[in-house]
Every structure is written in structure tokens, then in C-alpha cells.
């Protein structure tokens, strides 16, 4: 990463070191992506399953509760979740995964509910008229029709959490938040720039990838 030294010197000309070398930036990028991916997977599994459950006849009484719990996940700042999780889970990667999972639930639950609830009832009736079971209707009709809205919620959740994951560095998690925290502690703007730029590029790349993979994309 020595090729970064010249441009970073323009940002921080008086510092002895401007390139963050405590840990390789590509290694931090991989760890950052891994944490976000694990948290996203948990958010998607919990959020989609919960939303599907409360749109079934037997689970409709729990719909307000699930929506409220998902909303609370974003009501609490990730920093507060980390502060509560560290005494129980210890320092490291696990607390930030928990915080990101809770923070990412709302878009997934909200969009899954909107996607399924927004399907024309006549479509379900037509499927029942064809002799399809409830599970077949869910798998072959509801989920395919709702998938663009569900994927949009996952996209929002993941993109937000790419930036939020940097907070994990405050509790000992190794990710792209490390150069940012080191830059703040040492008064080194060049370190902050390296972490922030990589996080921004990762967010833009992932968001573009979701756009390309989105159902119905023809570009």
C-alpha cells in the first residue's frame, strides 16, 4: 500500500506515518465484509421467516408485535446495543454481529410484509382454484411476486450496515473501522480517509451488485 503515501501526504503532511500498516487494509476489508455478511444472513433468515409467519392465518395476531420488535432494533443506536452486548458476549466480533443483525431487521421485515401483503388477493384465489396448497402458494406465487420488494429491503439493510459495522472497532472487532478509530485517537486524518473511502467503495459496490442481481433487472 506504499503507493498511497504520496496522495495521503497531501491530507496529512506533518504526520510521521500516513499509510495504516497495523493490519493490511485488504485483510480488514475481508473481515468487514464477512461480519456484514453474517449479520445480513441472520437478519434475512429471522426477518423473512418472522414476516411470513405473521402473514399466515394462525400468526396474524402477532403481526403488530413483530413489526414493533423490528422497529425497536433501529430505535436503539448500534452503540447502545454494543454497550449492552459487551458485558454478556465480551469484546470482539460477536457483539457487532448482534448489533448489526438487530439494526438490519427493520428493512427486511417491513419490505417482506409489504411485498406479501401487497399481492392482489385475486391471485391467491386463482392459485387456490388451481388446487395449490398453502405452502405451494407461498413458494410458487407469493415469494416470487414479493421478491423485488424483499430484495430491496435486504439491499437497504446491508448497505446501511456496511457503514455501521465500523463501530465494531470500538469493542475490539477487526474491520475497516480500525484505521478510522486509530486516526481519531492519533489525530491522523490520513488513517480516517483510508477507512472511510474503503467503506464507501464497498457500500457502493455492494449496492450496485444488488441492483444488478435484483429480480427483473435487464441491464
pLDDT band (50, 70, 90) for residue 1: low
Instruction: Place domain 2-213 in its CATH homologous superfamily.
Output: MetI-like (1.10.3720.10)
Distance CA 38, CA 89 (A): 16
Triad 138, 73, 179: Cα angle to 5°: 115
pLDDT at 156 over 50: yes
pLDDT of residue 17: 76
Inter-CA distances, 50 with 67, 80, 130, 141, Å: 9, 24, 27, 18
**Taking residues 50-55, what's their average pLDDT?**
92
Q: 117: alpha, beta or left, given left = phi > 0 and alpha = psi -120 to 50?
A: alpha
pLDDT of residue 88: 85
Distance CA 73, CA 71 (A): 5
pLDDT at 127 over 80: yes
pLDDT at 28 over 90: yes
Give pTM, 2 decimals: 0.85
Of the candidates 181, 203, 201, the residue with the CA atom closest to the CA atom of residue 22: 181
In the 8-state DSSP scheme, what is residue 140? I
- The SS3 of residue 208 is helix
Amino acid at each position: 500500500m506504499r503507493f498511497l503515501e504520496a496522495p495521503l501526504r497531501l491530507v496529512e503532511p506533518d504526520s510521521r506515518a500516513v499509510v495504516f500498516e497495523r493490519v493490511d487494509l485488504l485483510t480488514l476489508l475481508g473481515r468487514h465484509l464477512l461480519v456484514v455478511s453474517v449479520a445480513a444472513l441472520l437478519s434475512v433468515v429471522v426477518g423473512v421467516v418472522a414476516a411470513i409467519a405473521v402473514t399466515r392465518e394462525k400468526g396474524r395476531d402477532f403481526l403488530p408485535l413483530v413489526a414493533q420488535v423490528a422497529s425497536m432494533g433501529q430505535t436503539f443506536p448500534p452503540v447502545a446495543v454494543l454497550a449492552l452486548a459487551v458485558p454478556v458476549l465480551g469484546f470482539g466480533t460477536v457483539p457487532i454481529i448482534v448489533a448489526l443483525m438487530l439494526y438490519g431487521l427493520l428493512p427486511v421485515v417491513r419490505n417482506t410484509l409489504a411485498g406479501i401483503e401487497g399481492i392482489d388477493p385475486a391471485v391467491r384465489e386463482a392459485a387456490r382454484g388451481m388446487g395449490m396448497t398453502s405452502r405451494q402458494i407461498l413458494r410458487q406465487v407469493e415469494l416470487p411476486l414479493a421478491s423485488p420488494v424483499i430484495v430491496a429491503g435486504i439491499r437497504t439493510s446491508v448497505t446501511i450496515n456496511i457503514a455501521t459495522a465500523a463501530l465494531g472497532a470500538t469493542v475490539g472487532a477487526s474491520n475497516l473501522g480500525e484505521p478510522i478509530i486509530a486516526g481519531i485517537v492519533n489525530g491522523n486524518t490520513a488513517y480516517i480517509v483510508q477507512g472511510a473511502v474503503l467503506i464507501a467503495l464497498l457500500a457502493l459496490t455492494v449496492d450496485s451488485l444488488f441492483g444488478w442481481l435484483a429480480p427483473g433487472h435487464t441491464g
